[in-house]
Structure 1
């Protein structure tokens, strides 16, 4: 069916900082001034002039004249400029190449830049060269760039308006750009809509005049109900990060195009129940409790990222039943926790906490009494997972004899010895270190009877989970001297933020190290977590991969090309996959790949189909009985 004139959509796109991530003349300056003695000074001048021009503080012609005089550029520099710009095409522009190829008749580049470098870049994505309108360089006989064509309408103020008026486009004209000259097109009535394009740079003075702010080209297509590379723009996917998640995570998620809000502290159940409405991804650390009540209020939630090792603060079953995938960082802070354990073992075996306290009170307590090396001592590790195993290796390298106990079968590393019972380990260990998870059945697994089994004068560490130790029993063991010293990093009740008070029965005990849940709080660990967890979340949101998910069936998917990817999450009931395929067949959708993984609660089906399919297909798939969630990725 042919479109009427009023239905035709024309897209007029700026080049600098819109089609590409950068200002082309800035890059040309880096090339032309590479060996110039005033390189840094001149590059800053170019940037300043560019910013003033984009903000409307300097006339276009003044801006062009100033930059060309500063550049000292040559025709021979242009090939390298094109090569660099081709690698700096905006992400969302690049991933929508198919759109530009299919809509070449209605897509235009109108720029105050220069054709000599714009045409070679944009034509690679399907833009027609005759649809590129820009300035022209003037070269001298030696190829030096000495001026610009002053007869070109785009070389003067208001040039974009005049150029677009000359095109006489019939239909809806959408002006897309990041500068004041782009807004002028809409102001003059030469465009129906002005999109302030903010993927690469945000100018408040430009955003203030926009009909719509577009953090990506996907947003523009979505706003116009047009098909693009993504079924749903990433900038509309809201993410909430709590508890001062590392800035690297925030930067990584924003760079990928998501809308991210960060908050320095944890939230209680009622606060989070309110805050989570409309949020699609939640990022937390150890303090925030994601309960069934919170999840009942999570109307849009797709994934939770635990920026730590443990996930006992999340109701995993409730998340699973809601179709919410949970990811954590099982390895990222292992080394940091182990180093703290080693440090505390040494400090406690030497009685350093009490000696340090004496020194601060002006007491000189030099003595070797109750002070021991760790070499040759027996370390008992309860829980031989990632942290316990690495502690085993480091402790052995320091000369300790390592013993471990775990309810699961674990392979011994180095010369570590497996104990057949917890009692066996407790009766021989000089140092006992807990490294178990926080599952509900582990609450108070270490009680009074376990302290009684320990050797007299042994050291006890809990850097695992607060609820796993009976605190009154630990206090009694330390106070009586049964335990010579203890190091505790985790507590049954912990403050939500640094502004809240800390209370514990362990405060003031002799030879006791209390730390505020900082086992994994090193710059290295937090940076690793800030890199790892967003990577898993982005992989799930962008491709559907669930590898290393804590609660979802783990599925690793191949790359997708020239197809739509459909994700169907449903209760694990017989016949659902057959019903999915019946719906696909009824809508004549050709399957190019299908992947299924289940666990005891849910089924996770990924179906890749040919690009062409009826829009009512998604509605039909959502209506299948036992469906929990459905989404289209591409």
Structure 2
């Protein structure tokens, strides 16, 4: 790059996340009874000046009077500001160092705290233009150098006129005074920096917005520390996903849209077109047709255990990873099952309804303890296994059946067939997954095999039970009671009516798919799933993906990482390595994992490489997706 481009960067709320004078006041006014009132006034003066609504020079003098600061407060402020450098500035230190001759910090703040911060990032002290404090004999800050043009209104304009930079000038800042440089014709471009604060008046004037320093570098084709600005990664979260997930994605720098309900296939086809990450729960269906519209989609996240609402094969064919939360709500589902087993055994639900109707029905008839009863668990996965431990602790005798060999916990007894389990137990609870072959796995034949007067629970998937058969057995009394949390057809939103033949039957507990709907579970899920997604986006790790070859990669250090997804056919890896050899690329590490459908190759290479290798990698036969990380 030639030396005729210059970059003017603001300090407060741009290089750092905060306004330094506001932070100084938080330090200098410790113990002052009027601290909060003074800080509010300082902030008001700062915002007014940054929005171009008041005289900067007068406001600066007022702020310093309010701060009552002393020289000995500055080391503490500097230490604090070291930890407040903007995230995107921090990760692009290499650019700041490499282009230090062309980078100027131009600020209405003060050199005393600016220079120690920015020089750590390679910026030259002589390229820092800012105000300076005036101190009295006791070291109190009493004013500023009024001869410095940056202390004046339109000070940045005056400074740029003095600098007379002979070349293209690009300004990055959050304040109106930064925009004024462009307005005065002294800059080619002004970028409103919004990573830390978005000032409406500034944004309205700006031709360019930079939600991060990465975006500024990307738009100007300058070297950056990451492969792609994170603010360009769009996340769509549906079905009231916990706000913690929104917070985590936003903290990473992604653009997040969160909607309260599910979307129909047509609605999702329209919404998905510019989305990179999709987060859903159980009601939104990600079909092959939806994926045909998802030209930018990299990953789908199920903020629940089940993934039968997602076409996993279609995602795999499109190179889209799918993640879920296999453990996060296990305890919540288990506790609901335990509670419902007790409620059904004591017929509590019907007695409660009678009490609300004013009927006093005190009787032990049909009311039993769960101790010494035989519990049959169908599906001995994470939920079934934990349920067996809690049930056994309550004195129950536990039996289980699973199509896959599982290690039993405690004294749980394995049954070789479902029929064997049904004949033995006093109550049956289903905890199977939603795969298509499980549809109506529990119907008339299975109910017929159960003991007369047995209890039945389904907290797994709605389509695994023949509802008509369940209703018939409840009405006949063969099944003494049931608890159902999931249904073949469920309302898309809370406003729709729930329609089912199970309504108004005796000793039947119906819940609206809330097995995992506890505050603890939703927070756990909201922490777990975004971190899996971000780990995949940032490093290529597919560990715990439900559809992709699982691979856990070492940390990327001083290298570029090539991520290649392809159809699993012979010869692709050889072709990839031939491309690398033809481009004289030095391989630092290579990892391959396949399943029956796709291959996943990760290659770490030296930082120095010919850009032609990127185009050649995309042209390798059978490539599904390719991207580069650095």
TM-score range, shorter chain: over 0.9
CA distance in 1, matches of 2:307, 2:605: 35
Give the number of aligned pairs: 630
- Kindly state the Cα deviation for residue 45 of structure 1 after the two structures are TM-superposed: 2.3
CA distance in 2, matches of 1:522, 1:372: 28
Q: Structure 2 residue aligned with 1:362, among 352, 358, 361?
A: 358
1:320-362 CA-to-partner distances (Å, cap 9, x unmatched) read 0100000011111111111111111111111112112212222
Q: Structure 2 residue aligned with 1:510, among 506, 511, 531?
A: 506
The answer for unaligned runs of 5 or more in structure 1 is none
Aligned pairs (5 A) from 1:255-294: 255-294=251-290
Q: Are 2:29 and 1:36 equivalent residues in the alignment? A: no
SS class of match (1:547) = coil
Query: What is the match of residue 201 of structure 2?
Result: 205
- Kindly state the Cα deviation for residue 561 of structure 1 after the two structures are TM-superposed: 2.2
Q: Structure 1 residue aligned with 2:179, among 172, 177, 183?
A: 183
CA distance in 1, matches of 2:520, 2:55: 48
SS class of match (2:411) = coil
Query: What is the match of residue 458 of structure 1?
Result: 454
Q: Structure 2 residue aligned with 1:166, among 144, 162, 168?
A: 162
Q: Are 2:555 and 1:559 equivalent residues in the alignment? A: yes
- Kindly state the Cα deviation for residue 602 of structure 1 after the two structures are TM-superposed: 0.8
Query: What is the match of residue 592 of structure 2?
Result: 596
CA distance in 1, matches of 2:331, 2:5: 56
Query: What is the match of residue 324 of structure 1?
Result: 320
CA distance in 1, matches of 2:69, 2:376: 70
CA distance in 2, matches of 1:397, 1:33: 58
- Kindly state the Cα deviation for residue 274 of structure 1 after the two structures are TM-superposed: 1.7
1:383-424 CA-to-partner distances (Å, cap 9, x unmatched) read 111111111111122222211111111111122222222122
CA distance in 1, matches of 2:162, 2:581: 49
CA distance in 2, matches of 1:70, 1:18: 24
SS class of match (1:208) = helix
- Kindly state the Cα deviation for residue 315 of structure 1 after the two structures are TM-superposed: 0.5
SS class of match (2:205) = coil
1:575-629 CA-to-partner distances (Å, cap 9, x unmatched) read 1111111111211222222211111111111112122222222111000000000
- Kindly state the Cα deviation for residue 40 of structure 1 after the two structures are TM-superposed: 2.4
Q: Structure 2 residue aligned with 1:246, among 225, 242, 246?
A: 242
SS class of match (1:276) = helix
CA distance in 1, matches of 2:454, 2:53: 73
CA distance in 2, matches of 1:587, 1:107: 34
CA distance in 1, matches of 2:388, 2:463: 24
Aligned pairs (5 A) from 1:115-126: 115-126=111-122
Q: Are 2:58 and 1:62 equivalent residues in the alignment? A: yes
TM-score (norm 1): 0.98
Q: Are 2:623 and 1:624 equivalent residues in the alignment? A: no
CA distance in 2, matches of 1:491, 1:172: 64
CA distance in 1, matches of 2:202, 2:354: 63
Aligned pairs (5 A) from 1:80-95: 80-95=76-91
CA RMSD in angstroms, aligned pairs only: 1.2
- Kindly state the Cα deviation for residue 9 of structure 1 after the two structures are TM-superposed: 2.6
SS class of match (2:273) = coil
Aligned pairs (5 A) from 1:313-352: 313-352=309-348
CA distance in 2, matches of 1:48, 1:623: 56
SS class of match (1:133) = strand
Q: Structure 1 residue aligned with 2:488, among 492, 498, 502?
A: 492
SS class of match (1:529) = helix
SS class of match (1:175) = strand
